[in-house]
Amino acid sequence: MSVSIIFARSTNYCIGKDGQIPWHLPDEFAHFKRTTLGKPIIMGRKTYEDHQSALPGRRNIVISRQANYQVVDSIELQPSLDKALESAHKSSDEVFVIGGVHFFVEAFKKASLVYETIVEADIEGEAILPVFDFNGWESQVIERHKKDEKHAYAYRVIKHMRL
Ligand SMILES: NC(=O)c1ccc[n+]([C@@H]2O[C@H](COP(=O)([O-])OP(=O)(O)OC[C@H]3O[C@@H](n4cnc5c(N)ncnc54)[C@H](OP(=O)(O)O)[C@@H]3O)[C@@H](O)[C@H]2O)c1
């Protein structure tokens, strides 16, 4: 059973601003969708509130300390990352943690695979990741994307595999 993480960050490690993802990069979103499709996805309550609906084609699990937090019917609510992982692993060997900051940090300790997108921009925002230490991991750039009319920023995707 494995834990994978997928995130996109700016060069200064910002992942979110005003409760939302601070860029619109359709091809990067397509990479997220392609990579996570068919797998359970686990997210914090604020990440869920950014989408306000279940991401289709995936089992969606939301973590909140509020036992009576209202989610749409198809979404499962869990009180902690450990409980969410335990539940997700009942239906799939690979489970993706998709945010936010606290859950990336907590899941990093257990993860064997990390998909990191680096967006080539300095962005101000309240959701900031720490610098993860990829010593003891093998890292490979799997995609490079230039800035174009649909993508305000260039980005690259790195796949990190724990050795
Ligand atoms: N760029 C990316 O790849 C990416 C990915 C995901 C999200 N984002 C962005 O990041 C922002 C949201 O992330 P965030 O870090 O602010 O919030 P978050 O992790 O999505 O959600 C935080 C909430 O999770 C619950 N929580 C946190 N720690 C917990 C614990 N130990 N046990 C149980 N529940 C816990 C709490 O919910 P309750 O208050 O309900 O208890 C807390 O308010 C948004 O801007 C979003 O767009 C970006």
- CATH of residue 52: 3.40.430.10
* pLDDT tens per residue across span 130-149: 999 999 999 999 999 999 99
Rounded to the nearest integer, the mean pLDDT of the chain is: 97
The pTM of this model reads 0.98
Amino acid of residue 1: M
Say if residue 61's pLDDT is above 90: yes
Domain count, the chain: 1
Pocket test for ligand 1, best of 7, 47, 68, 153 (most atoms within 8 A of CB): 47
| Consecutive H or E run containing 51 | helix 45-51
CA–CA separation, 78 vs 100, rounded Å? 15
Mean of pLDDT values over 110-136: 98
Q: What is the pLDDT of residue 100?
A: 97
Shortest-distance Cα residue to atom 10 of ligand 1 = 16
149 C-alpha vs ligand 1 centroid, how far in Å? 31
77 C-alpha vs ligand 1 centroid, how far in Å? 14
Say if residue 52's pLDDT is above 90: no
Shortest-distance Cα residue to atom 26 of ligand 1 = 64
**Residue 7 belongs to domain spanning:** 2-162
Q: Tell whether ligand 1 has an atom less than 6 A from the beta carbon of residue 83.
A: no
> 110: pLDDT confidence band, cut at 50, 70 and 90?
very high
Pocket test for ligand 1, best of 51, 102, 115, 157 (most atoms within 8 A of CB): 102
* pLDDT tens per residue across span 36-47: 999 999 999 999
Pocket test for ligand 1, best of 5, 15, 109, 132 (most atoms within 8 A of CB): 15
Query: For the range 124-127, what are the long-range contacts, defined as Cβ-Cβ under 8 Å and sequence gap of 24 or more?
Result: 124/14, 124/17, 125/14, 125/15, 125/16, 125/17, 125/18, 125/22, 126/16, 126/17, 126/18, 127/14, 127/15, 127/16, 127/17, 127/100, 127/101
Say if residue 73's pLDDT is above 90: no
